[in-house]
Chain A
Amino acid sequence: MKFLCVDCDHVMDFSDRDIPGDGTMAALFTCGRCGREVAMLTNPMETQLVSSLGVKVGGREVPGQPMELTRTQVADGRDDAFDDAAAPSSSEAPIRVTWSDDAVERLQQVPSFVRGMVKRIYTDYARERGIDSITPAVMDRARTDLGLEGM
């Protein structure tokens, strides 16, 4: 998929995305020459089609987690199917990340089947950006930045 700025005859760059949580997605592309912006809006089925490939529109910013597609897409996963206790954060940044109470509460609402993996993704996101406290606002931003539909 390429977005071409017709006036400039220049391929537009992916610049941002928004995942409001209703299955839709907005991806913003910008022309590097004239600055024109175009938003690609997908309906839930189109968003799902892309998600089903295990890819993120605009690319990934953190490494993929083992069985990320399966864990995020299976509807009736067993709560204790995975033991994430031994899974370290993939980020080597020496930052101790804490979770605010309301962020922990929100994390607890994530099904156990995928919770350990989601926690690791948010922790990696925070470390790589020098964020030492994960709040719901950080989680929202991470979800959008990373294209984490369904997390």
Chain B
Amino acid sequence: MKKIRTYHEVESEGRGQVPEQVGKQMERLARRLADVRAVWIVASGKGGVGKSAVTANLAAALAGRGLRVGALDADLNGPSLARMLGAGRDGLRVDDDGVHPAPGAAGARVVSMDLLLATDDAPLKWKGPAAFDFVWQSALETGALREFLADVAWGDLDVLLLDLPPGTDKLQRAYKLIPDVTGVVLVTTPSEAARSVVARSLKLAHDLGAEPIGLVANMTARACPECGHVEALYEADGARQLAAESGAELWAEIPFDPAFALETDRGRPAADRRTDAVGAAFGDLATRVVAESGLGPLEETEAS
């Protein structure tokens, strides 16, 4: 057979120009995020631990302190962040700067697939041939996430929060997509099942080089709305156990309050208005995120 040069032996660039275009996509993303002072990933690995509720209330707590906050719902297939942040369904304005995010609670700027789908119960479906669609769908989801980051006119932000769907692969994908992640918040509960799954995410985050990583134990206890008495919801304490075993720091322990949860479900996350145990937990978490982002002292941010 005639000797044919291999790909790397041919010095000129590929004529399909695919790598160049992907490179430009990433440059665009980096330019967009240049105006964002801190990018935080809120993840877990485990489903049902309240990532979106934590994200929504953290956004409210930060925005309530005068910070300019963006909230990106990276859960394309189960989006709920826009609803929790009370973002309206007016059409997202498009101009030469990009797609403008929807205004949400406390002034947070929100983008979510929920704002784009036809109805509240419409699942996300992609065009294209149905045969072997699993082959290319993950590429489309990554592309959509990239566009949510790069093509949205976020403006100057102090903090951009990404609410990730369950699955450790999502953490890896988001972390590698974003050029400079400030830190990762891993949400767990006291349950043993959550502990084992979040432990995997924690290990992955370490392997990726994420720093800082903060654990948030959600639904640790039930706070009585009448007297404020707090009672543990689980016999196990998987979150504290995980922190002790891994050396990761537990940044917040958030009790469950039905009224607080209902307010969040209705698009009125109350973390910036409540002074009880739940509000205090989110206040502590917001304080930590601000400090770890190098945004403090807060008074200077508020004045800017």
Q: Which residues of A contact B (CB under 8 A)?
A: 1-4, 6, 9, 11-14, 23, 27, 29, 44-45, 48-60, 66-70, 72-84, 86-88, 90, 113, 116-117, 150
B133: min CB distance to chain A, Å: 8
Distance A29 CA – B143 CA, assembled complex (angstroms): 27
A7 to B90, CA, bound (A): 59
User: Is B298's CB within 8 Å of the partner chain A?
Assistant: no
Docked-complex contact B126 and A57, CB < 8 angstroms:
no
Interface string of B91-133 (1 = CB under 8 A from A): 1111110110000000000000001111100111111110110
Residue from A13, A48, A58, A68 whose CB has the most chain B CB atoms within 10 Å: A48
Contact residues, B1-49 vs A (CB, 8 A): 2, 4-5, 7, 10, 12, 14-18, 20-22, 25
Question: Contact at A53–B92, with CB atoms within 8 Å?
Answer: no
- Contact indicator B136/A87 (Cβ below 8 Å): no
Docked Cα-Cα span, A34 to B25, in Å, equals 34
Is A6 a contact of B2 with CB atoms below 8 Å?
A: yes
Complex: how many Å from CA A4 to CA B151?
Answer: 36
Task: Provide the bound-state CA to CA distance between A48 and B135, in Å.
Answer: 10
B94 & A9 in contact (Cβ 8 Å cutoff): no
Contact residues in B for A58 (Cβ distance below 8 Å) = 15-17
16 residue pairs bridging A and B, Cβ less than 8 Å apart? A2-B12, A4-B10, A11-B12, A45-B129, A45-B132, A52-B140, A53-B143, A54-B21, A54-B143, A55-B21, A66-B99, A66-B147, A70-B147, A73-B127, A77-B116, A82-B94
What are the 4 tightest A-B residue pairs by CB atom distance, in nearest-first order?
A83-B91, A52-B139, A59-B17, A1-B16
